[in-house]
Amino acid sequence: MPASETLAARVPHRTVLSRGTLAASRRTLVASRSTMAPFAALLIAVSLAATLVTSLAAAQDLTDLERKIVELVDEQAEASIRFLQEVVDVNSGTMNHAGVREVGRMFQAELEALGFESRWIDMPDGVNRAGHLFAERRGGTGEHVLLIGHLDTVFEEDSPFQRFERDGDMARGPGVEDMKGGDVVIVYALKALHAAGALEDTNITVALTGDEESPGSPIETSRRDLIAAGHEADVALGFEAGVGGTNTATVARRGSSGWTLRVAGTRGHSSQIFSSRMGAGAVFEAARILNAFYDEVRGEEYLTFNPGVILGGTDVEYDEALNRGSAFGKTNVIAQDLVVDGGLRFISEEQKTRTRARMQEIAARSHPGTRAEIRFEDMYPAMSPTEGNYALLETLDDVSRALGSGLIQPVDPGARGAADISFVAPYIDSLDGLGVVGAGGHTVEEVVDLTSLPVATRKAALLIHRLTHMPR
């Protein structure tokens, strides 16, 4: 079995809900994709009205201990912003290994002060990544909760975007939203629980990866420890940024796979193209294949595939690691070589497998004088929508209502990319998008709404508290 296929082969079958079933099971909060947009403004208005109506009564749903936890979160609000600035001001682009490790040390010190046992996991030299920070507490009989974040950003040392800048309730900086803000939510939720005495007898693992923005290869090595943590836990919570405001969460994320199409033609004088001896050439054959992908594969919900790079001609050189290359050809010479490098997004392993088979079948229907081969590389598995994920959403919804913050809406999977939680979601119930709210991620205009930091931290603290005290 090829190395790229081993991860998918180990993924067990879990019940994936159809869109119709999801809509029925999630009360009135789940609307179909086709009906969501027309009623979006109405849903927001209803949500705001419900928040106002329930805010006075909501506090009655909190225990005395939970009220204390919320007070402690609020007392630490400014301290959490200061810590966010400290970690943002240390560059931790994925390939800045020293910077990733330094940010890891900053979080490690905070977690160890809360009684967590921590370890830095170095990656082998061949993986060329800094490594990961894991910290854990053991005890009690409640759910074992895995909290997932990442230390790296897309901004390397040579980026002009390097510093945290605050302007009232907004702040700009590399990673403020994606996802040092979410990492700070994890730490300050745990700080509040610790100060309230609510961390005793809990089973919690914190996993902060060092290469989420560009995972090291092979994936089986760079995500081995995260997957192992998923097998040991009962529930996973991801703290990537929220989408659509503070009252949303992610029950599903599409998976990501790479694909490379290589086409060979018969080189000869262009006057003989389409002849039985020379055939159509590599460029026409690739055009046939890509057009057939568009006509015959396109259309399933949440399925997309994108040919990102194409090079063709007499001679082609392509570096897959750098996603760049060169081609040489002449107008009077039939192209003999072509490469297409693309990506595939899917909502389930079943959809991925079925789509790959259709793409392979199309590539195999070669024109005379040509041959084509397509190969696939597993990257991120899908975080498929499951009953367990929706049960977690219900628990978060209960927390939000108890806080007077209103109902929680599930995010459309089409609005999210892949994330580290996808590596554990095939094994355990998972919920993502629990971090801060901002905009401009992966650009020099990345900002965070600082008022979302305590809001997310309150919800995270109470969600963790309720889960860790829920009998297995």
Q: Where are the domains of the chain?
A: 3-253+383-468, 255-380
Q: What DSSP string runs through 291-339?
A: HHIIIIITTSTT-EEEEEEEEEESEEEEETTTTEEEEE--TTB---EEE
pLDDT of residue 320: 84
Separation between Cα atoms, residue 104 and residue 241, nearest integer Å: 19
Coil vs helix vs strand at 176: coil
pLDDT of residue 141: 83
* Residues 6 or more apart in contact with residue 224 via CB below 8 angstroms: none
For residues 89 and 163, the answer to whether their CB atoms sit within 8 Å is: yes
pLDDT of residue 17: 54
* Chain centroid, CA 277 distance in Å: 49
Paired sense of beta strands 304-313 and 337-346, if any: antiparallel
For residues 146 and 237, the answer to whether their CB atoms sit within 8 Å is: yes
Neighbour tally for 197: CB within 10 Å = 10
Neighbour tally for 445: CB within 10 Å = 10
Average pLDDT estimate for 345-368:
96
* Helix pair 180-195, 452-468: axis angle to 10 deg: 50
Which CATH code of 3.40.50.300, 3.30.70.360, 3.60.40.10, 1.20.1260.10 fits the domain covering 255-380? 3.30.70.360
CATH level 2 (architecture), domain 3-253+383-468: 3-Layer(aba) Sandwich (3.40)
For residues 437 and 448, the answer to whether their CB atoms sit within 8 Å is: yes
The amino acid occupying position 239 is F
Q: Is the pLDDT of residue 89 over 50?
A: yes
- Fold agreement (3-253+383-468, 255-380): no
Strands (E), 213-271: 235-238, 248-249, 255-264
Global pTM value: 0.82
Coil vs helix vs strand at 86: helix
Torsion of CA 326, 332, 336, 342, to 10 degrees: 50
DSSP state of 93: B
**CA 223, 229, 231, 234 torsion-angle sign:** negative
pLDDT of residue 244: 86
The torsion angles phi and psi of 157, rounded to 5 degrees, stand at -60, -25
Q: Which of 14-18, 332-336, 445-449 has the lowest mean pLDDT?
A: 14-18
Separation between Cα atoms, residue 312 and residue 450, nearest integer Å: 49
Q: Which of 24-38, 202-216, 361-375, 441-455 has the lowest mean pLDDT?
A: 24-38
* Chain centroid, CA 404 distance in Å: 28
For residues 227 and 215, the answer to whether their CB atoms sit within 8 Å is: no
Neighbour tally for 139: CB within 10 Å = 12
pLDDT of residue 80: 98
Neighbour tally for 63: CB within 10 Å = 12
pLDDT digits (tens, 9 = 90+) for 235-254: 999 999 998 899 999 999 99
pLDDT of residue 14: 52
* Residues 6 or more apart in contact with residue 123 via CB below 8 angstroms: 129, 130, 131, 132, 210, 211, 216, 221, 222
Angle at 307 between CA 256 and CA 11, to 5 degrees: 20
Mean of all residue pLDDT scores within the chain: 89
* Residues 6 or more apart in contact with residue 325 via CB below 8 angstroms: 309, 311, 316, 317, 318, 319, 339
Q: Is the pLDDT of residue 330 over 90?
A: yes
Looking at the chain, the whole-number percentage of residues with pLDDT higher than 70 is: 87
